C-alpha cells in the first residue's frame, strides 16, 4: 500500500509540475520519428534539420542574434503521438513541423484556430499551395503534384505528346501519402492519352511485394512510378531487381530516393531514378561550416554527411531559418511570434544570390513564395543511382503550373467547403 | 477505518441489491464524478483535454464494449478496431448525407450500424468457440479495414482516402470539427460515456448479464437450465458492438478529427483488448483503470523529465517510455493476474477489515 501511495504522489507531483521548462530563444519544435517502422528514413532527415540549426547557433549565435531553441518531440510516425506533440508544443512554438501526411491532415484544420504555421517541406496535402485557402500551411519548395508533373515530363522527354499510348504504372503506398498524386496523374492521363495503372501496396505488404510485381510483369508498363516510403522502397527496389525489371524505367518520388535502400542492391540498382528538389553538394561551403561547428564539436549524430536525405534535412531547416530571418527583418525585432513567422514564410525569397550567400548553391533550386502561392514550385532534378551514390541525371525540371494550378484551386475549394465555415485570406489577390 | 461497514444495515432486498450497498463506495464515486464533471474541466489545459481526459474516456468506452463480449459473455474478439471503424464511418456518412442531423444523435445512431455488423460476424459464434472464434473475428477485422479502403463511397470519394470531420454544431455551439473547443467535446464524450456506463452496469447486473455470465462459465450447463444460447450470444455481440461503435464515432468525431482506414487496423484492436485484459475481464471499473494505465501513463511519463528539468533526448525518452509501461504491465499482471479491478477489490477488502486482518 505504501508503495502505491508513493507512486500516486509521484504521479500527482509530476502532473503538477508539468509546466515545461524552455530554453531561451525562438522555439522551433520538430515532430521527429527516430523510432518506429519509418525510423531508417527519418533519422538522416532529423539529423540534417538539427545540425543546420546547431550550426547557426554555434556560428552566428542563432538568427539575427536570437538563439534557436530547436527541439524534437518523438512521434514514431504515429498520428496519435503526433497530435500529442502538437498539443504539447503549440503554446510556445512559432511553427509546427508535422512530418507525416497523416499528422498534417489532422492538424491542418486546427491551425486556423490555433494560429500557428505548419511547415511541411515537400510533403502534406498538395492543394496547400493555395495560400488564400490554407493561410497557415506551407509546403515549399515543391508539392507532390509538382513531382508527378516533373516525372511525367522527364518520361516524355520534353514532348508531352509522346506519352500517348504509353502505359504507366503508379506503385503507391495505400495511405493518404501514396494517393496524393492520383488526381493529377489521372487528369494527365486523360489529357495526354497515356494509360495509368495504379497498383496499391498495403501497409502490411510493404516488405513483400511479390504480388504487385507479378502484376507489373503482366502489365508490361513502359514506366513504373513509385510513391513509396519507409520499408516499402527497399521492398520495391529489391523486388524489381529480382524480377529483372529494367531499372532505368523505374522512377520514384523524392522520399523514395534514400541511399540506404539502394545500397542494399548496389550495382544492380544502377539506373534507378528519383525526382528531387534537393541535391547533395559535398563541396558546398555550408558543409564545411557544418563540419567545423557541429560534426567536429561532437554535436552531430550523422555518419554520412553526403547522403541525399541528410542534406535535404539541412535544406528544410534553411527554409525555416530564412522564414524566421524574413520575419525578423520585416518586423524589426529578434523574438518573433507565430503570426510573424507566417508572414516570413509567405515572403520567402530563396534566390540564386541568397543561396550563394548561404553557401548552398545547387542544394535546392531557387524559389519564392507569396501570399497566394505557399509552395514556391521550385522544380527539381532527376537523380540517378550510379551503383554507389545518387548523381544528377537531368537539368532543372519545372512542373507544369498551368496544368496544376486549376486543380489546386478546385481541390482547395472543395476542402474549404467540406470544412465550412473556413476562413479565407481575403488579403491575397 | 475509512471503509468500515459496521452499522450499515440492510433491512430490505431493495437496499441489499442497490447499485452501491456500501456508503463509502457511493461517496467515492461521487468524488470521482465531481472531479470528472467539475474539477478537471475547470483546471485542465488544452493539452490535458486532448491527450489525457478525452482519449482515456473514449478508450475506456471501447474497452467496456469489448469487455461485455469477452469478459461477461466469454466470446473472444479481435475485431474491436474494425467495429469502431464501422461506427466512425457510419457517423461520417450520416452527418454528410444529412447535415441537419444533431451530431450527438448521429453518434448514438452510428452504434446501431456497428451492432448490425457485429451480430452478422457474431453468427459463427454459435458453432465455434474460443480461439477459433477469435480467428473468425480476425476475419472481420481484415475484411472491414479492406472495405474502408476500397469502398470510396464511404469516404465520399476523397482523393486521400481519409475522412475529415466537418464543423458540426448543436444550436450554434460547435461540438465537432476544428471549430469545436476541447471542453465542449469533453463534455459530450463524458455525457455519452457516463450514460453508457450506467446502462452497462445495470445490464450486466440484470437478467441479460446473468445469462451472459452463465454462457461464459459453461455453455452446456447454461443451455440445460433453459438459456437460449443463440439469444444470449447474439445480444452480447449486439450490445458490445453498439458500445464499441459509439466509441469509434467518438474517437474520430470528438477527438481525432480525421481518420484514415488503417487507423482501425489490428493494433487498435489489440490496444483495446489489452486495456480490457489489464483492467480486468468481466468488470466495469477495470476498463477505466486499464485505459489510465495504457493511454494516460505514457503521456504523463513523457512530461516527467522536463518537469524535473532533466534534458533527455526525445527518441530515448520514447524508448524508455515503452520499457517502463511494458514492465509496469507485467508487474501488475504478476501481482494480480485478474487485472487492476481485482487489485482494487483486494485493496478495498483489506481496508474494510483493517486494522484487524484475520
> How many separate domains does chain A show?
2
- Strand partners for A223: A168
Q: Could you give the C-alpha distances from A212 to A229, A418, B262, in angstroms and in order?
A: 16, 34, 19
Tell which of A241, A276, A311 closes a domain.
A276
Q: Please check whether residue B63 is in contact with residue B275, taking contact to mean a CB–CB distance below 8 angstroms.
A: yes
- Report DSSP state, residue A67: P
Q: Same domain, yes or no, for A367 and A324?
A: yes
Q: Which residue in chain A has the smallest CA separation from B165?
A: A419
Which residue in A4, A35, A183 is closest to B315 by CB distance?
A35
Which residue in B256, B302, B309 is closest to A106 by CB distance?
B256
DSSP-based three-state secondary structure for A172: strand
Q: What is the pLDDT of residue A21?
A: 43
pLDDT tens track for B45-62: 888 888 889 999 999 999
DSSP B332-345: HHHH-TT-HHHHHH
d(CA A244, CA A240): 6
Q: Could you give the C-alpha distances from A394 to A87, A246, A382, A417, B71, in angstroms and in order?
A: 42, 19, 5, 40, 63
Q: Same domain, yes or no, for A201 and A283?
A: no
d(CA A254, CA A188): 20
Tell which of A254, A276, A298 closes a domain.
A276
Q: What is the pLDDT of residue B26?
A: 86
Residue position matching grid coordinates 554527411: A305
Q: Can you give the residue range of the structural domain that contains B114?
A: 46-353
Q: What is the pLDDT of residue B68?
A: 93
Q: What is the pLDDT of residue B289?
A: 92
Residue A172 lies in a domain: yes
Which residue in A20, A102, A411 is closest to B306 by CB distance?
A20
Q: What is the pLDDT of residue B59?
A: 95
Q: What is the CATH number of the domain that holds B156?
A: 1.10.3470
pLDDT tens track for B194-238: 999 999 999 998 899 999 999 999 888 999 999 998 999 999 999
Cβ–Cβ of B265/A71 closer than 8 Å? no
Residue B206, burial from CB neighbour count under 10 angstroms (0-12, 13-18, 19+)? exposed
ω into residue A421 within 30 of 0, thus cis?
Answer: yes
DSSP-based three-state secondary structure for A253: coil
Q: What is the pLDDT of residue B358?
A: 64
Q: What is the pLDDT of residue B100?
A: 87
Q: Same domain, yes or no, for A65 and A122?
A: yes
The residues, any chain, with a CB within 8 Å of residue A341's CB and separated by 6 or more, are A94, A95, A117, A323, A324, A327
Q: What is the 3-state secondary structure (H, E, C) of A90-147?
A: CCCCCCECCCCHHHHHHHHHHHHHHCCCEECCCCCCHHHHECCCCCCEECCCCCHHHH
Q: Please check whether residue A341 is in contact with residue A324, taking contact to mean a CB–CB distance below 8 angstroms.
A: yes
Q: Same domain, yes or no, for A301 and A234?
A: no
Chain B residues in contact with A11 by the CB 8 A cut-off are 300
The residues, any chain, with a CB within 8 Å of residue A48's CB and separated by 6 or more, are A302, A309, A310, A311, A312, A313, A314, A315, A316, A317
d(CA B265, CA B85): 9
Q: Could you give the C-alpha distances from A35 to A81, A228, B325, in angstroms and in order?
A: 12, 19, 16
CA-wise closest residue to A28 among A4, A54, A5, A6: A54
Residue B290 lies in a domain: yes
Q: Please check whether residue A258 is in contact with residue A230, taking contact to mean a CB–CB distance below 8 angstroms.
A: no
d(CA A143, CA A396): 15
Which residue in A72, A73, A176 is closest to B161 by CB distance?
A176
Chain B residues in contact with A101 by the CB 8 A cut-off are 160
Q: Same domain, yes or no, for A241 and A365?
A: no
Confidence of residue B81 (pLDDT cuts 50, 70, 90): very high
Residue A395 lies in a domain: no
Chain A residues in contact with B307 by the CB 8 A cut-off are 14, 17-21
CA-wise closest residue to A391 among A366, A369, A362, A411: A362
Residue B217, burial from CB neighbour count under 10 angstroms (0-12, 13-18, 19+)? exposed
Cβ–Cβ of A87/B50 closer than 8 Å? yes
Residue A181 lies in a domain: yes
Question: Phi/psi at A384 (nearest 5 deg)?
Answer: -130, 140
Residue A55 lies in a domain: yes
Q: Same domain, yes or no, for A169 and A291?
A: no
Cβ–Cβ of B164/A109 closer than 8 Å? yes
Residue B33 lies in a domain: no
Q: Please check whether residue A337 is in contact with residue A94, taking contact to mean a CB–CB distance below 8 angstroms.
A: yes
Interface test with B, best of A69, A79, A127, A300 (most B CBs within 10 A): A79
Residue A339 lies in a domain: yes
CA-wise closest residue to A70 among A277, A258, A294: A294
Q: What is the pLDDT of residue A23?
A: 55
Element (H, E) at B20: none
Confidence check on the interface: ipTM exceeds 0.95, yes or no:
no
Confidence of residue B1 (pLDDT cuts 50, 70, 90): low
CA-wise closest residue to B92 among B265, B252, B244, B255: B252
Q: Please check whether residue B78 is in contact with residue B260, taking contact to mean a CB–CB distance below 8 angstroms.
A: no
Confidence of residue B22 (pLDDT cuts 50, 70, 90): confident
Element (H, E) at A27: strand A26-30
State the nearest Cα–Cα gap between A357 and chain B, in angstroms: 33
- Report DSSP state, residue B68: I
Residue B38 lies in a domain: no
Kindly tell me if the per-residue pLDDT of B115 is higher than 90: yes
Q: Same domain, yes or no, for A101 and A156?
A: no
pLDDT tens track for B121-172: 988 888 888 888 888 899 999 999 999 988 989 888 877 788 888 888 888 8
Q: Same domain, yes or no, for A223 and A237?
A: yes
Q: Can you give the residue range of the structural domain that contains A99?
A: 24-142+279-379+404-429
Q: Please check whether residue B273 is in contact with residue B93, taking contact to mean a CB–CB distance below 8 angstroms.
A: no
Residue B4 lies in a domain: no
Tell which of A276, A309, A334 closes a domain.
A276
pLDDT tens track for B83-113: 999 999 999 999 989 888 899 999 999 999 9
CA-wise closest residue to B196 among B60, B5, B46: B60
Cell of B154: 464511404
Cell of A378: 521550385
Q: What is the pLDDT of residue A16?
A: 42
Q: Please check whether residue B87 is in contact with residue B110, taking contact to mean a CB–CB distance below 8 angstroms.
A: yes
Chain B residues in contact with A35 by the CB 8 A cut-off are 315, 318-319
Cell of A413: 475549394
Q: Same domain, yes or no, for A184 and A313?
A: no
Q: Among the residues of A159-307, which ranges form H helices? A: 176-179, 182-192, 210-219, 231-242, 259-263, 285-290
Q: Same domain, yes or no, for A138 and A149?
A: no
Residue A386 lies in a domain: no
Residue A9 lies in a domain: no
pLDDT-flagged residues of chain A (< 70): 1-23, 429
Interface test with B, best of A34, A54, A112 (most B CBs within 10 A): A34
Q: Same domain, yes or no, for A283 and A429?
A: yes
Q: Could you give the C-alpha distances from A103 to A117, A120, A177, in angstroms and in order?
A: 14, 10, 11
Q: What is the CATH number of the domain that holds A172?
A: 3.40.50.2300
Q: Please check whether residue A268 is in contact with residue A23, taking contact to mean a CB–CB distance below 8 angstroms.
A: no
Q: Which long-range contacts (CB under 8 A, 24 or more apart) does A413-418 make?
A: A413/A133, A415/A125, A415/A127, A415/A133, A415/B164, A416/A133, A418/B164, A418/B166
Q: Could you give the C-alpha distances from A275 to A149, A151, A269, A407, B238, in angstroms and in order?
A: 10, 7, 16, 21, 51
Residue B20 lies in a domain: no
> How many separate domains does chain B show?
1
Residue B334 lies in a domain: yes
Q: Same domain, yes or no, for A203 and A325?
A: no
Which residue in A72, A112, A411 is closest to B314 by CB distance?
A72
d(CA B160, CA A126): 11
Residue A83 lies in a domain: yes
Confidence of residue B174 (pLDDT cuts 50, 70, 90): confident
Q: Which residue in chain B has the smallest CA separation from A43?
A: B315
Residue B240 lies in a domain: yes
Cβ–Cβ of A180/B307 closer than 8 Å? no
Q: Please check whether residue B122 is in contact with residue B75, taking contact to mean a CB–CB distance below 8 angstroms.
A: yes
Q: Could you give the C-alpha distances from B297 to A18, B272, B321, in angstroms and in order?
A: 14, 15, 9
Residue B29 lies in a domain: no
Interface test with A, best of B159, B303, B347, B348 (most A CBs within 10 A): B159
Chain B residues in contact with A79 by the CB 8 A cut-off are 256, 263
Which residue in A19, A34, A203 is closest to B262 by CB distance?
A203
Q: Please check whether residue A248 is in contact with residue A273, taking contact to mean a CB–CB distance below 8 angstroms.
A: yes
Amino acid at each position: 500500500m505504501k508503495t502505491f501511495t508513493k507512486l500516486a504522489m509521484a504521479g500527482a507531483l509530476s502532473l503538477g509540475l508539468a509546466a515545461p521548462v524552455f530554453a531561451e530563444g525562438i522555439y522551433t519544435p520538430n515532430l521527429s520519428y527516430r523510432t518506429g517502422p519509418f525510423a531508417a528514413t527519418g533519422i538522416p532527415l532529423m539529423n540534417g534539420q538539427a545540425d543546420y540549426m546547431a550550426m547557426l547557433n554555434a556560428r552566428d549565435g542563432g538568427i539575427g542574434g536570437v538563439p534557436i531553441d530547436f527541439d524534437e518531440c518523438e512521434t514514431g510516425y504515429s498520428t496519435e503521438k503526433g497530435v500529442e506533440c502538437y498539443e504539447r508544443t503549440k503554446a510556445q512554438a512559432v511553427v509546427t513541423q508535422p512530418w507525416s501526411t497523416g499528422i498534417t491532415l489532422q492538424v491542418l484544420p486546427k491551425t486556423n484556430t490555433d494560429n500557428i504555421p505548419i511547415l511541411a517541406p515537400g510533403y502534406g496535402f498538395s492543394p496547400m499551395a493555395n495560400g488564400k485557402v490554407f493561410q497557415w500551411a506551407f509546403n515549399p519548395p515543391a508539392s507532390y503534384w509538382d513531382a508527378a508533373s516533373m516525372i511525367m515530363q522527364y518520361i516524355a522527354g520534353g514532348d508531352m505528346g509522346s506519352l500517348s499510348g504509353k502505359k504507366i504504372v503508379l506503385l503507391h503506398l495505400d495511405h493518404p501519402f501514396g494517393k496524393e498524386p492520383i488526381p493529377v496523374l489521372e487528369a494527365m492521363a486523360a489529357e495526354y492519352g497515356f494509360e495509368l495503372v495504379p497498383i496499391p501496396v498495403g501497409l502490411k505488404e510493404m516488405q513483400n511485394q511479390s504480388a504487385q510485381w507479378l502484376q507489373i510483369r503482366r502489365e508490361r508498363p513502359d514506366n513504373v512510378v513509385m510513391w513509396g516510403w519507409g520499408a516499402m522502397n527497399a521492398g520495391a527496389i529489391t523486388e524489381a531487381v529480382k524480377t529483372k525489371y529494367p531499372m532505368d524505367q523505374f522512377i520514384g518520388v523524392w522520399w523514395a530516393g534514400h541511399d540506404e535502400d539502394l545500397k542494399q542492391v548496389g550495382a544492380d540498382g544502377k539506373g534507378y531514378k528519383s525526382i528531387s528538389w534537393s541535391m547533395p553538394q559535398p563541396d558546398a561551403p555550408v558543409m564545411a561550416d557544418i563540419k567545423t561547428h557541429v560534426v567536429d564539436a561532437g554535436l552531430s549524430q550523422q555518419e554520412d554527411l553526403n547522403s541525399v536525405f541528410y542534406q535535404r534535412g539541412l535544406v528544410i531547416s534553411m527554409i525555416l531559418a530564412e522564414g524566421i530571418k524574413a520575419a525578423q527583418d520585416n518586423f524589426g525585432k529578434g523574438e518573433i511570434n507565430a503570426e510573424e513567422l507566417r508572414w516570413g514564410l509567405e515572403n520567402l525569397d530563396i534566390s540564386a544570390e541568397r543561396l550563394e550567400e548561404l553557401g548552398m548553391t545547387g542544394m535546392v533550386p531557387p524559389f519564392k513564395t507569396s501570399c497566394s502561392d505557399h509552395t514556391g514550385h521550385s522544380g527539381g532534378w532527376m537523380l540517378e543511382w550510379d551503383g554507389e551514390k545518387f548523381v544528377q541525371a537531368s537539368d532543372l525540371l519545372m512542373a507544369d503550373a498551368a496544368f496544376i494550378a486549376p486543380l489546386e484551386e478546385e481541390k482547395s475549394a472543395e476542402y474549404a467547403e467540406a470544412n465550412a465555415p473556413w476562413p479565407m485570406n481575403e488579403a491575397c489577390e | 477505518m475509512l471503509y468500515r461497514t459496521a452499522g450499515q444495515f440492510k433491512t430490505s432486498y431493495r437496499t441489499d441489491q442497490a447499485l452501491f450497498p456500501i456508503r463509502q463506495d457511493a461517496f467515492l464515486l461521487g468524488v470521482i464524478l465531481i472531479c470528472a464533471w467539475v474539477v478537471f474541466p475547470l483546471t485542465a489545459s488544452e493539452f490535458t483535454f486532448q491527450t489525457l481526459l478525452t482519449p482515456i474516456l473514449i478508450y475506456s468506452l471501447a474497452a467496456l464494449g469489448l469487455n461485455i463480449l469477452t469478459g461477461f459473455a466469454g466470446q473472444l474478439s479481435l475485431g474491436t478496431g474494425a467495429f469502431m471503424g464501422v461506427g466512425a464511418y457510419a457517423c461520417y456518412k450520416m452527418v454528410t448525407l444529412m447535415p441537419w442531423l444533431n451530431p450527438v444523435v448521429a453518434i448514438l445512431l452510428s452504434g446501431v450500424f456497428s451492432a448490425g455488423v457485429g451480430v452478422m460476424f457474431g453468427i459463427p459464434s454459435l458453432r465455434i468457440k474460443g480461439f477459433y472464434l477469435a480467428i473468425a473475428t480476425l476475419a472481420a477485422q481484415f475484411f472491414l479495414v479492406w472495405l474502408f479502403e476500397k469502398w470510396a463511397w464511404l469516404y465520399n470519394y476523397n482523393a486521400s482516402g481519409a475522412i475529415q470531420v466537418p464543423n458540426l454544431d448543436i444550436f450554434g455551439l460547435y461540438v465537432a470539427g476544428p471549430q469545436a473547443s476541447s471542453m465542449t467535446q469533453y463534455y459530450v464524450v463524458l455525457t455519452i460515456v457516463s450514460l453508457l456506463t450506467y446502462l452497462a452496469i445495470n445490464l450486466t447486473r440484470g437478467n441479460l448479464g446473468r445469462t451472459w455470465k452463465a454462457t461464459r462459465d459453461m455453455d452446456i450447463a447454461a443451455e440445460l437450465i433453459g438459456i437460449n444460447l443463440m439469444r444470449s450470444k447474439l445480444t452480447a455481440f449486439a450490445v458490445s458492438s453498439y458500445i464499441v461503435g459509439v466509441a469509434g464515432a467518438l474517437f474520430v468525431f470528438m477527438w481525432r478529427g480525421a481518420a484514415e482506414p488503417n487507423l482501425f487496423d489490428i493494433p487498435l484492436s489489440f490496444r483495446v483488448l489489452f486495456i480490457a485484459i489489464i483492467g480486468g475481464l468481466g468488470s466495469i471499473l477495470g476498463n477505466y483503470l486499464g485505459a489510465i494505465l495504457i493511454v494516460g501513463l505514457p503521456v504523463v511519463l513523457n512530461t516527467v523529465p522536463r518537469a524535473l528539468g532533466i534534458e533527455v533526448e526525445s527518441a530515448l525518452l520514447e524508448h524508455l517510455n515503452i520499457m517502463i509501461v511494458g514492465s509496469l504491465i507485467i508487474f501488475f499482471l504478476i501481482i494480480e493476474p485478474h487485472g487492476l479491478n481485482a487489485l482494487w477489490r483486494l485493496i478495498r477488502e483489506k481496508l474494510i477489515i483493517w486494522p484487524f486482518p484475520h
